[in-house]
Amino acid sequence: MSAIISTQQYLCYFNQTPESYDPTAPVQQCAGPRSDVQGGITASMAGGSFLGALASGPLADRLGRKTSIQVGAVIWCIGSILVCASQNIAMLIVGRVINGISVGICSAQVPVYITEIAPPTKRGRLVGAQQWAITWGILIMYYISYACSFIGQHAHPPSPAAFRVPWGLQMIPAIFLFFALFLLPESPRWLAKKDRWEEAESVIALVHAKGDSTHPFVVRELQEIKDFCDFERQNADVTYLDLVRPNMLYRTHIAIFTQFWSQLTGMNVIMYYVTYVFAMAGLSGNAGLIASSINYVINVCMTIPALLLVDRIGRRPALVGGAISLMIWWYVTAGVLATYGHAAPPGGLNHVAAESWVISGAPSKAVIAASYLIVASFAPTWGPVSWTYPPELFPLRLRAKGVSVSTAACWAMNFALGYFTPPAFVNIAWKTYLVFGVFCTAMAIHSFLCFPETAGKPLEEIEEMFAVGTPAWKTRGGYSSGRLMEMGQLDTEAKVDVTHQEGQRPQPPKE
């Protein structure tokens, strides 16, 4: 969306200020949708995602994690067809809402699927790899959209193919995902929950022990899953209300606020509306689009450290450290804009009201650099960890529903920010940055005080950690090397990921 909303093809096709369009002008300068309407267009996908995330819990419990993701892929194609064929703003919003339902289902259940199938010592790395794949998707679609922005650029009127082509091409990954999932196994924990024990055993053996069902880890993992399934059958009637019962409320609060805060970092403001930000800093047209694309390259590159370190350093350092770093860059940007900038002419720059502030010279370069640093701070911290963390918090019987609620919270806040940001740029200009600085200050304090460490712990053992009630700042990742050796999971590859619960690092076994 960010590579499209500033192009004249898009602005003229969905223009709500007819007087701003002059068919005789050599270069078109349409105003496009009003700022509140553009916020609604952008936010409509997040609104659909909220609905999809809530529906994903019952769907995944009934059909399985893998099948629910396939359902999401089919829904995505339906929404993309409507978006691609949009004749007006209403049709575009309906298509994006349907797209959002797909995003809600998949964003809730893909982390659950990976979490339930991954080894404890590599769980964060694998969910982080999913986030890395998402950053690649964002980057690729941005450059496809940028390339398509040249289609019909100087036609009268500008050709809508510039945005229809990328909106149509986005169906291709969903089609691939749908068919490729037939080659992957179902979650062993979901299979066990449905009493399909032979299939569950074969999946665990395939994924963790190269098909050896007698491997110590396979035997122990299967036994722990059986013990939990027996316990959960004694508490068989599971509803969303269980998430707010006294023994689960703390975890639900953490999961929801993890996703709330990940949105309130302001990262998606940069992602959705970076072309507005850079236009206010003096970059517009092709120069602005190319400069904006650097954000997406940084997003891809800076997610790599998370893949390497998220299981080693843990969840808490990433969340607290990321929030502090983001806080600094938001405050710096607000300060520079307030000190060296000034209000744009009435109607905004380039006839876009959201481009409401002007800054130039060296301070404008500082604003651009700070935007890059915001992305660089988010990508290795809140980006992957906000998706890794919630599935680790809930027991099997509530995992799908718990993650669906936390993901719905993510998309509810995404909707609010998508809708809020263009009018915020119009009405409070540089103070928008100050708002996100305050949010990051609050999330740093909250995550330090309330978010316990879960890195490296088996999902079943996390239950014990919550039962003991250790204060969040005293928790440590991993479980004892003795237990890992018993399970056959402590080897030279895994040793860097393992810590004692008391915080001491075990020595690797001799070869």
Summarised one tens digit per residue, pLDDT across range 476-497 is 776 444 444 444 444 433 343 3
In whole angstroms, what is the distance from residue 305 CA to residue 317 CA? Answer: 13
pLDDT for the residue numbered 111: 87
Mean pLDDT of 382-410: 87
pLDDT tens for 200-234 read 899 989 888 888 888 888 888 888 888 877 776 76
Q: Is 25 exposed, middle or buried (0-12, 13-18, 19+ CB in 10 A)?
A: exposed
pLDDT for the residue numbered 25: 63
Mean pLDDT of 443-468: 85
Q: Are 254 and 335 in contact (CB under 8 A)?
A: no
373: Cβ–Cβ under 8 A, 6 or more apart, which residues? Answer: 325, 329
Residue 125 has pLDDT above 60, yes or no: yes
Supply the mean pLDDT for the chain.
Answer: 84
pLDDT band, very low/low/confident/very high, at 353 (cuts 50, 70, 90): confident
Residue 404 has pLDDT above 90, yes or no: no
- Residue type (1 letter), 269: V
Q: Tokens representing 472?
A: 């969040």
Mean pLDDT of 348-367: 86
Mean pLDDT of 167-185: 94
Question: pLDDT: is 192 or 510 the higher one?
Answer: 192
pTM for the complete prediction? 0.75
Best CA proximity match to 68, nearest among 44, 101, 96:
101
Any idea which of 81-90, 306-315, 324-333 has the lowest mean pLDDT?
Answer: 306-315
pLDDT for the residue numbered 22: 61
pLDDT band, very low/low/confident/very high, at 29 (cuts 50, 70, 90): confident
CA dihedral 271, 272, 275, 281 (to 10 degrees): -70
Mean pLDDT of 308-315: 84
pLDDT tens for 242-275 read 899 888 999 999 999 999 999 999 888 888 788 8
In whole angstroms, what is the distance from residue 219 CA to residue 252 CA? Answer: 31
Q: Is 430 exposed, middle or buried (0-12, 13-18, 19+ CB in 10 A)?
A: buried
Q: Are 370 and 336 in contact (CB under 8 A)?
A: yes
Q: Strand locations in 159-265, DSSP E? A: none
DSSP run (H or E) holding 342: strand 342-343
pLDDT band, very low/low/confident/very high, at 328 (cuts 50, 70, 90): very high
In whole angstroms, what is the distance from residue 362 CA to residue 345 CA? Answer: 21
3-state secondary structure of 290: helix
What is the CB neighbour count within 10 angstroms for residue 178?
17
Q: Tokens representing 64?
A: 């399985």
**Number of helices and strands in the chain (H, E):** 20, 2
Q: Averaging pLDDT over each range in 295-304, 360-369, 384-393, 438-447, which range is the top one?
A: 438-447
3-state secondary structure of 175: helix
Any idea which of 4-13, 326-335, 374-383, 473-482 has the lowest mean pLDDT?
Answer: 473-482
pLDDT for the residue numbered 497: 38
pLDDT for the residue numbered 398: 84
Mean pLDDT of 500-510: 36
Q: Which domains does the chain have, with CATH numbers?
A: 8-187+240-450 (1.20.1250.20)
Q: Are 369 and 363 in contact (CB under 8 A)?
A: no
pLDDT band, very low/low/confident/very high, at 19 (cuts 50, 70, 90): low
Q: Tokens representing 193?
A: 């929950």
In whole angstroms, what is the distance from residue 235 CA to residue 266 CA? Answer: 40
In whole angstroms, what is the distance from residue 320 CA to residue 322 CA? Answer: 5
Instruction: Give the C-alpha distances (Å, rounded to integers) separating 10 from 1, 133, 293.
Output: 10, 28, 18
Residue 505 has pLDDT above 50, yes or no: no
DSSP state of 343: E
pLDDT for the residue numbered 499: 36
Q: Are 376 and 302 in contact (CB under 8 A)?
A: yes
Q: Averaging pLDDT over each range in 17-31, 184-198, 448-462, which range is the top one?
A: 184-198
DSSP run (H or E) holding 311: helix 285-313
pLDDT for the residue numbered 309: 81
Residue 459 has pLDDT above 80, yes or no: no
In whole angstroms, what is the distance from residue 323 CA to residue 321 CA? Answer: 5
Question: pLDDT: is 473 or 24 the higher one?
Answer: 473
Q: What is the dihedral sign for C-alpha 325, 380, 54, 191?
A: negative
Mean pLDDT of 401-405: 88
Instruction: Give the C-alpha distances (Å, rounded to integers) separating 483 from 122, 341, 509.
Output: 16, 59, 13
In whole angstroms, what is the distance from residue 180 CA to residue 375 CA? Answer: 31
Best CA proximity match to 293, nearest among 266, 276, 274:
274
In whole angstroms, what is the distance from residue 227 CA to residue 217 CA? Answer: 15
Q: What is the dihedral sign for C-alpha 274, 276, 279, 280?
A: negative
Identify the residue whose tokens are 């891809």.
300
Angle 291-37-89 from CA coordinates, rounded to 5°: 95
